[in-house]
A = this chain, B = another copy of it.
């Protein structure tokens, strides 16, 4: 086989999938890989990552340890990530030797909120209005363009509401910018939406695309509380949501699962809020309600396998277990739901400790 053929050949059963990141997403990816007879090697900067408990091999090293990264890649047949903020240098080291997906360009775009929104707009898709705010001097022009209320966000490294501030004037914009230590930021229009939805979709190494039915998401304190499937969308809106995900995945030449978060406006319009280049919390319900979960489909895609079906046989509600809620595991286990606990040794406030998925017979929706 030529190098190109080798790189596109599927990973055979018995082969090893490398996963950068050892949290619950890496853990559930490893378990999905095991179902397919694939081995996993987890790389994490933690000493005792939850995913270490379910893999074949693990490396505990910093994400900038290029020697450790190279050794890890050498031990794997294909490499992927469980989180979006993979350092570009780390991704480059991995991609040098092994098929590494999602690809570095897609990661780079999504890691920067301004580049991400610019990319989405370039595809002809709707987003909230936005403007770059790279220095305090940009405040006046940015605020004039967007108007209030608006949200200032750091361009990089924000999650679960961290690095975000609501602002109602150019002055507040400046203050928030200073509180972010003046890192490059983006000012976004504050969108009055009806509810939030998300599409979890997958694109294979052969370019084939499939999407799960969109979920409706309820957040509390900037953390996902609950996902409900089906979402309150018309059939047309649901199709549109899947088409949005397809347009994004195709344009990024993406391989793997991605989550696209949408604001559903009162007039029915769908705005793209955020792209997650990984399996997504709002897709956990697919473990119970579909034959092929988002985790398995991600593994299939990055291993070069045919995609599994994304159709669902049931309606589903997924509830996150946050912080102390997981201490109620005995009561939760007695309910008629699919209980998942992530093997985290310490309960901390706001920490995702597990989730439960409840099924109902499929509605017409």
Residues in A lying within 8 Å of B, measured CB to CB: 10, 12-14, 27, 31, 34-37, 39, 53-54, 56, 288, 291-292, 300, 305-306, 308-309, 313-314, 326, 329-330, 333-334, 336-343, 345, 354, 357, 359, 361
Contact = CB atoms under 8 A, between A and B. Distances in A.
Given A10-B330, A31-B34, 7 more contacts: A12-B329, A31-B35, A34-B53, A36-B333, A37-B342, A288-B291, A308-B336
Closest 4 CB pairs of A and B: A37-B341, A306-B334, A309-B336, A291-B338
16 contacts: A12-B329, A13-B341, A14-B343, A14-B345, A34-B54, A34-B343, A35-B339, A36-B333, A36-B339, A36-B340, A36-B341, A37-B341, A53-B56, A291-B337, A305-B333, A306-B334
A306 B343 CA distance: 19
Contacts of A326: 13
Contact of A313 (B12, B339, B345, B359): B359
A39 B50 CA distance: 10
A125 B36 CA distance: 40
A300 B338 CA distance: 13
Given A56-B53, A333-B305, A291 B359 contact: yes
A317 to B, nearest CB: 12
A274 to B, nearest CB: 28
Contacts of A340: 35-37
Contacts of A313: 313-314, 359, 361
A216 to B, nearest CB: 21
A128 to B, nearest CB: 38
A322 to B, nearest CB: 15
A300 to B, nearest CB: 7
Contacts of A308: 333, 336, 339
A54 B37 contact: no
Contact of A305 (B330, B337, B342): B330
Contacts of A359: 291, 313
Contacts of A309: 336
A291 B357 CA distance: 9
A334 B343 CA distance: 32
A342 to B, nearest CB: 6
A343 B53 CA distance: 17
Nearest to A57: B53
A330 B307 CA distance: 11
A12 B27 CA distance: 19
B343 A330 contact: no
Contacts of A341: 13, 35-37
A306 B333 contact: yes
A225 to B, nearest CB: 20
In this complex, the member of A31, A35, A334 whose beta carbon has the largest number of chain B beta carbons within 10 angstroms is A35
